[in-house]
Structure 1
Amino acid sequence: MENRAVLAAVLMAALLILYQVFFIPATAPPPPARAPEGVSKPVPPQEKTAPPPPAVLPAAKVLPRLPERTVSVDTPLYHAIVGSEGGRLLGWTLHYRGEKVLAERGQMGLSGLILERSGVGGQPVEFSITGGPVVLDGKAGEGTLVMTGEDAYGVRVRETATFRADQYAVDLSVRLENGRRVRQTLTVALPWIAPVKPGTDGAQWPSELVWQVDGTVHREPFDKATVAEETPGDWAGLDSLYYLTALIPKRPPTSPGLSLAVGKVGEDRVEVGLRGAVTLAAGEVWEARAQLYAGPKEYRQLRAHGLEGAINFGGFPLPRKYGGLPMEWLGVPVLLVMNFFYRFIGNYGVAIILLTVVTKVLFYPLTVKSMTSMKKMQTIQPQANALRAKHKSDPQRAQRETLELYRREGVNPLGGCLPMVIQVPIFYALYIALSVSVELQNAGFICFGRAPGWFPFVGGTDLWICDLAAPDPLYVLPILMGVTMFVQQKMQPTMGDPNQAKMMLIMPFVFTFMFLKLPSGLVLYWTVSNALQILQQRLMNRKPARVAGRGAKDVARV
């Protein structure tokens, strides 16, 4: 009985195998459910099947070369020109305190969607564009360009670009469909190209590659860039001091999706872009999404798209790459407070003054402590000098007696320095924040326009501060800064060391020379800070130190 059961089972298995081989045709599996964005749709696994044969490149069709069509996009924030060759950007001009060019035909810009294949290279897809021109006047409107085409190997492409009136970002969607009956493997590329050396016109030429991987920002100057490589990451861009162009892949966290391509292409160009290898079965569809950002490095705008790491606040006390502490935790609040004041006042120069006042108020207790300690030190300095003279043959005893004097009078020798040292990182953060703030570019403080060309000495020069990101053309602010610094030094308590006192008096002249070419917004902050320090010093000088009345008696007793 058992033998018959075994024989029956073997016969049934054989019949099942013969039925699968001869009666079920070897067709492609049914289309699966819609895959996550940015990744090919997976084919359900089949048990005990051989791996698929290598993709065979289908015969290429000869496509006619059509003249490129261009479509314009106009929003309150920028003017763009889109070409039908791959949907490339032929122009991108910001309306940001004047005209700022970020993309220019033949020099830098988005090169368009490129489909590459092993052995035959790649070329941009020839698109037919519908939906243009796009004109957005409202603050919340949006417009869409739909670009469709087919490459020489039968892959149908649909790219959609959505523009919004109140954003510098463009939403991109790419859809590929294999129209041939053979499996195809290709690489999708969406590169933004820029020259290594800047041109001579008025464009905002980038100078640094910047990209973010798992929340960590990496930077590389153009002249040190290596050959472009692919890497998974959050975004990649081309960076200048005030402006950024970046590509942001949108993909599920469990999918590799599109990778970043960052580096040098040839000898004279650099590239940032998105790349990804795609394998399409016959009739299969693949989709991916991304964002393009091309605009100023305003913190609010960048934060909305996860690009705030593009603002380089540097490190302290060393550059970040050498282990310095990141300064975002101090620099970002400075920008937020300055922009808060600007929203109510409408003048960034006044906003900087108010920011300086707020900083001084916050550190007033430390400043008072420092000034009080310095004044006490000045009062007991004659006693300390008398002790050193009395015990000059015994330095150790002189030191003990001096420390005892400090203890008895309640004076900390470092009391005047420590409060100032604590403030150093704050002042450095203010310096960096004002130096990298795009909000100050072309933002005036007290501006009377430009002097006529015939005007003596200052013909054709701005009168007075018409751009807080540029140096003061008349050098008025640096001179005021030097004067206030000199007055502040003269009001400080007299130092015991004559050489140190002379050095401190020289510093205002050195700082004046250094500040001649610094942004006027930064010089304005420093000048106002000095003026407030003078006011604080005058208030402190009116309060006699508690130990002042008995200084002479103690000297006589020593």
Structure 2
Amino acid sequence: MDKNQITGLVLMLALMTIYFQFFAPEVPEQPVETETIETAAPAAVQQAKISNTTVSVAEDSLTSALHKERYGVFAPFATGEAEEVNIENESVKIVLSSKGGIVKRVELKDYLTYQKDPLVLIDRNSSQSDLLLASNYKPINVSELYYQVDYRKLKVEGEDSLTVSFKVALDNGRYLEHKYTLGGTGFQLRYEINLVGMDGVIDNQDAQLTWVDNMKNVEHTLKESRAKTTINYLPIGGDFDDLGISEGAESETIEQGLKWFAFKQRFFSAALIAENKISKATLSTYVDTSDSTTVKSGTAVLTLPIGDLKTGKGQYQYYFGPNDYTVQKKVVDGFEQNVDLGWFIFRLVNKWLIIPIFNLLEGVISNYGVIIIILVFVIRLILAPLTYKSHMSMAKMKVLKPEMDAIKEKHDGDMQKSQQETMELYRKAGINPLSGCIPVLLQFPFLLAMFNFFPNSIELRQQAFLWATDLSTYDNVLNLPFEIPFYGSHVSLFCLLMTGSTLLYTWSNSQMNTQMQGPMKSMQYMMPIMFLFFLNSFSAGLTFYYFVSNIVSFGQMALFRKFVDEDKILKVMEENRKKNANKKKSKFQLKLEEAMKAGEEQRKQKTKKKK
């Protein structure tokens, strides 16, 4: 039916309505009797019914025509009543709707918001999805249709599973189906789109799925949550990537297609994973800073291969769940990267050492503060050989300090000669000047890996210890009436304790380290002060870990000193001098001396230019 036919039908219906309202034959007047009054009333009512029915028929016909124009063969399914289907397993409660055959609401059973309300990851107000299919070269939003529902059970557990099917069935066995399968455990919802016998109805044009997720604020610290919220994705044949964490609008088009993408918040994700592929995707995020109920808004415009949907390969998985490394690594390859474990070397330390130890302790201990304390002891024990080697290097330098001071006094003002003679002293005494630095550098990946592990560990979320109510965020013992730049408007006691113990440890260590002189000796105290500002708003679990680590390091240092005999070290070095008296310099020593000479020469040239 074209537009001219629709217009003619509407005019005809309008003329009929006007005729019955104004030009219908009048009913002859009758004597006013009780019997006449009683028969006249039904006639008037009947006339009104005819008029209303006519208008209703006209409206229905117009709506039907509009639906036919908009939805084509799917027009009969454009009206109806939405039915909600509530399914659940041991981990999630999910509401599906027959209008659109979509996921309407997801609640995670074992988690709460910071206000201790049930954690609803998505609902109809925050999430919207639309599936567009082409029919007769015209896009039809099949998410606006009303589907027939078929299911057998609504709750499942263990190894069992349940299936819910939403169908729009045409004639001759042709139908469009959204099919959901939920296992007894876990956070994955299997999703299938099936176009059965629809070759003459649906064009061979790829489908478009648009998913908008206004990610709900479920944490206490909105600023920290926004800094860790983005869209992560894995391109076909590419490496894991994300849109970045800036508060400005971000957008990326992935032409080669995706294996999966995730609306990733700090501790939770809503994701779509393709069994085959998503042909193309445009992903974007933006922040409305005036809306404190939404962390970020994300949009994914996805191109789904129509061939997959028509041949039973339109198979996907939704993931609605926590950013838990142990859980996510079982979902699909690379999906565990939604848990930010840091750069390559730090990720390796977290993946192969920190997480296994933490999970082992978590299985036998319920108090996460105690777990952190034990974790410190385990890590310090593993690093003990490196720490001991570094301590021994500093002890050797301390023994040589009188001779080093004599060399500096002898060559006062001539840095090149002073350095050359000092290096000769090291060589004869059998000391590698880098032996103290290398063990410290080797410990750095373990130290910095914690920067990613603790702030992103969902296990610490809402876990209290001592005065900290939540180890995943900062411990707040005092709110300031003003804000200090780079520090904030609160006081973290764990951060203060960490800073104080770090300053004390640095001072104690400097008593042994005779190599660090001049400005560098003062600069080493700046780092703890910087960390005071930088870590004040970080996870209480992180600052507590560093505080305990400093205390354990004091104990290690005291223990090592008991085993260090300076007289014995001096005796060994004297024997080394006799052995190395006529020994040639190594290639490394020669190159080091050349570098020192070149540096001294450059320094002299600069001094001459200034003069």
TM category (shorter chain) comes to 0.7 to 0.9
> Is contact 1:211-1:233 (8 Å) kept?
yes
Q: Which residue matches 2:87? A: 73
Instruction: Establish whether residue 210 from structure 1 lines up as the match of residue 232 from structure 2.
Output: yes
> Is contact 1:146-1:159 (8 Å) kept?
yes
Q: Which residue matches 1:14? A: none
Map 1:349-360 onto structure 2 (within 5 A): 349-360=369-380
Q: Distance in 2 between matches of 1:239 and 1:308?
A: 12
1:436 aligned to which of 456, 480, 505: 456
Instruction: Establish whether residue 93 from structure 1 lines up as the match of residue 107 from structure 2.
Output: yes
2:338 aligned to which of 303, 310, 322: 310
Flag structure 2 segments of 5+ consecutive residues without an equivalent.
1-69, 113-117, 289-296, 478-491, 575-611
61 and 128 in structure 1: CA distance in 2 versus 1, 3 angstrom threshold: closer
Q: Which residue matches 1:262? A: 282
Q: Distance in 1 between matches of 2:267 and 2:368?
A: 16
Fraction of identical pairs, as percent: 22
Q: Which residue matches 2:505? A: 488
Report the RMSD for the aligned CA atoms in angstroms: 3.5
Q: Distance in 2 between matches of 1:389 and 1:216?
A: 58
1:523 aligned to which of 533, 543, 552: 543
Q: Write the deviation string for residues 387-425 of structure 1: whole angstroms up to 9, x where unpaired.
A: 111122654433232122222333332222111011112
Q: Which moved more, 1:498-507 or 1:148-157?
A: 148-157
Instruction: Establish whether residue 194 from structure 1 lines up as the match of residue 220 from structure 2.
Output: no
177 and 544 in structure 1: CA distance in 2 versus 1, 3 angstrom threshold: closer
> Is contact 1:482-1:512 (8 Å) kept?
yes
Q: Write the deviation string for residues 242-275 of structure 1: whole angstroms up to 9, x where unpaired.
A: 2111111113xxxxx5435332499996433653
Q: Distance in 2 between matches of 1:101 and 1:417?
A: 50
184 and 305 in structure 1: CA distance in 2 versus 1, 3 angstrom threshold: same
Q: Distance in 1 between matches of 2:441 and 2:494?
A: 26
SS in 2 for 1:226: strand
- The Cα shift of 1:502 comes to 3.4
Q: Write the deviation string for residues 99-137 of structure 1: whole angstroms up to 9, x where unpaired.
A: 33321213225x15442447422211421222277233x
513 and 200 in structure 1: CA distance in 2 versus 1, 3 angstrom threshold: closer
Map 1:25-174 onto structure 2 (within 5 A): 60=73, 62-63=75-76, 64-98=78-112, 99-109=118-128, 111=129, 113-117=131-135, 119-123=137-141, 124=143, 125-131=145-151, 134-136=154-156, 138-150=157-169, 156-174=175-193
Bigger-Rg structure (1/2)? 2
Q: Distance in 1 between matches of 2:413 and 2:539?
A: 54
Q: Which residue matches 1:298? A: 324
Q: Write the deviation string for residues 528-555 of structure 1: whole angstroms up to 9, x where unpaired.
A: 211111001111222344358869xx9x
- The Cα shift of 1:184 comes to 3.4
- Which structure is richer in relative contact order (CA contacts within 8 A, separation 6 or more)? 1
Q: Distance in 1 between matches of 2:386 and 2:377?
A: 15
Q: Which residue matches 2:271? A: 246
1:370 aligned to which of 370, 390, 410: 390
Q: Which residue matches 1:24? A: none
- The Cα shift of 1:467 comes to 1.4
TM-score of the aligned structures, taking structure 1 as reference length: 0.73
Q: As a proportion of its length, which structure holds more helix? A: 2
Q: Distance in 2 between matches of 1:370 and 1:550?
A: 17
Q: Which residue matches 1:470? A: 473
Q: Which residue matches 2:406? A: 386
544 and 264 in structure 1: CA distance in 2 versus 1, 3 angstrom threshold: closer
1:361 aligned to which of 381, 385, 393: 381
Q: Distance in 2 between matches of 1:258 and 1:482?
A: 49
- AA aligned to 1:426 is F
Q: Which moved more, 1:369-378 or 1:396-405?
A: 396-405
Flag structure 1 segments of 5+ consecutive residues without an equivalent.
1-56, 252-256, 316-324, 447-463
> Is contact 2:474-2:540 (8 Å) kept?
yes
> Is contact 1:297-1:311 (8 Å) kept?
yes
Q: Write the deviation string for residues 188-223 of structure 1: whole angstroms up to 9, x where unpaired.
A: 34443124xx66777988831211123611211474
Q: Distance in 2 between matches of 1:292 and 1:188?
A: 18
2:262 aligned to which of 234, 237, 246: 237
TM-score of the aligned structures, taking structure 2 as reference length: 0.67
- The Cα shift of 1:360 comes to 1.0
Map 1:314-333 onto structure 2 (within 5 A): 314-315=342-343, 325=344, 327-333=346-352
The total of aligned residue pairs comes to 459
373 and 425 in structure 1: CA distance in 2 versus 1, 3 angstrom threshold: same
